[in-house]
Chains A and B, each alone.
Chain A
């Protein structure tokens, strides 16, 4: 059974870079037609897609975050990562990783990790 688990610092200072990793078990991130995404949810608010990386390494990012976001994959560790630069308090959220296929609905989610941006 495919499982995803986010990890990373729970507290990041303003203007610094948020870095999270999603470890994948029960399947390979290189498997054909698999896409791996990041979604966030500010406290008490709705869901926002951040971006996705495909099994072949192609990336797509939300236009509003594109200038600050990098998603990468490490096939040797079967994990993928999110970097969000120049963070502000508005980036405080629960960050989820998830899997989707070439049909971009999100079938498997990680448990989420809360990241607070504060000095």
Chain B
């Protein structure tokens, strides 16, 4: 099975900072990658699919890039409401696999 890793596992940044999270697949997955945001105690919400397509209603400060094995999620200007854990997920084939998550806090 394809394994997904994320780095860093956690980060703390100031409001307005640019934040980048990396996701790596153990094998190439083309652009079959999604990103989710899970706020504390809440349901995961889809942010991005197809590596770079913003899901409906997601603020434009979120963006995704990458293909093959290396992907990034960028928050261009961190806001207090962005405090959450972010997960990547590959979906090129079953089984669906999530990354371990990156916890983002405000400094």
Contacts and interface: CB of A to CB of B under 8 A. Distances in A.
B97 to A, nearest CB: 7
Contacts of A62: 95-96
Residue from A63, A105, A110 having most chain B Cβ neighbours under 10 A: A105
A109 B45 contact: yes
Interface residues on A, range: 20 to 34
A46 B87 contact: yes
Contact of A111 (B43, B45, B101): B43
A105 B43 contact: no
Contacts of B36: 47, 106
A103 B46 CA distance: 13
A66 to B, nearest CB: 9
Contacts of B46: 105-107
A104 B91 contact: yes
Interface residues of B, number: 22
Interface string B85-107: 00101010011111111000000
Residue from B43, B100, B101 having most chain A Cβ neighbours under 10 A: B43
Given A105-B34, A107-B46, A109-B45, A48 B94 contact: no
A107 B55 CA distance: 9
B49 interface: yes
A37 B36 CA distance: 16
A10 to B, nearest CB: 17
A37 B95 CA distance: 11
A63 B55 contact: no
Contacts of A80: none
10 contacts: A46-B99, A46-B100, A47-B87, A47-B101, A52-B96, A62-B96, A105-B49, A106-B34, A106-B44, A106-B46
